[in-house]
Amino acid sequence: MNLVLLGPPGAGKGTQAEVITQKRGLVQLSTGDMLREAVKAGTVIGEEASAIMKSGGLVPDEIVIKIVAERLSASDCANGFILDGFPRTLNQAAALDNLLQAQGKQLDAVAEIKVDDAVLIDRISGRYMCADCGASFHDTNHKPKVPGVCDRCGSTELIRRKDDNAETVRNRLMAYYRETSPLIGYYFAKDKLRSVDGMAPISEVSSQIEAVLANS
Ligand code: AMP
């Protein structure tokens, strides 16, 4: 099962990808996570991406396409994957089609997670994550069971992303509407697009995505 999660920053793509990958044994491919790792490791890609990510812009297509191409050819993707944060431009979507075609694979569905802008801003400014395993949390909507301790791995290193601030969020939303929202039409035309209500509680959104997968 190969799925793309499409939606603006804060829609819950990462949270939903976590839930569904655990349930179904799929691999979560988050280009945001891959780029943050490259920044942390100080690689050439990381150096190029760092300032762009801080400003809320999009990293150039050729960089992210290269990262995804490498990752998709790894053996753990054979049983299926969830792409979270890729593609984000029409160029990236076309490149993904080519990559999958070359591997004899295809997308089963694209789940568009729809959320109102005001809610997105609130979600992003309250969210934080585990520095060790990447599990995500929120100040009010999704607190860890034990305060300050990651539910998934028990780490106490819970951190906020550098780009989760009001100023950068505006740029990230603009980048979404300008560059990424055309993908809604792109996948609709291919009859791959399925919309889910991202305003619903986390478990309800997961059920809606499960229903999309079951019908694909
Ligand atoms: P995310 O974790 O998905 O919110 O991504 C964080 C940041 O990484 C974005 O604001 C972009 O700067 C960059 N990024 C992640 N994925 C992509 C992509 N597919 N294309 C371009 N830039 C990306």
Q: What is the pLDDT along the chain (216 residues), one digit of tens a residue?
A: 999 999 999 999 998 999 999 899 999 999 999 999 999 999 999 999 999 999 999 999 999 999 999 999 999 998 899 999 999 999 999 999 999 999 999 999 999 999 999 899 888 989 999 999 888 899 998 899 999 999 999 999 999 988 998 789 889 999 999 999 999 999 999 999 999 999 999 999 999 999 999 998
Structure tokens at 205: 């959104």
Helix %, strand %, coil % for the chain, to 5? 50, 15, 35
Residues with CB under 6 A from ligand 1: 9, 31-32, 35, 52-53, 56-59, 64, 85-86, 88, 92, 163, 172
| Mutational test site, ligand 1, from 53, 63, 89, 177, max ligand atoms within 8 Å of CB | 53
The predicted pLDDT at position 135 comes to: 85
Whose tokens are 């509407």? That residue is: 177
Cα angle 84-86-90, degrees, rounded to a multiple of 5: 145
Query: 0.85 exceeded by the pTM?
Result: yes
Q: At 162, which amino acid appears?
A: K
d(CA 21, CA 1): 11
Amino acid 142: pLDDT:
87
Distance CA 32, CA 29 (A): 9
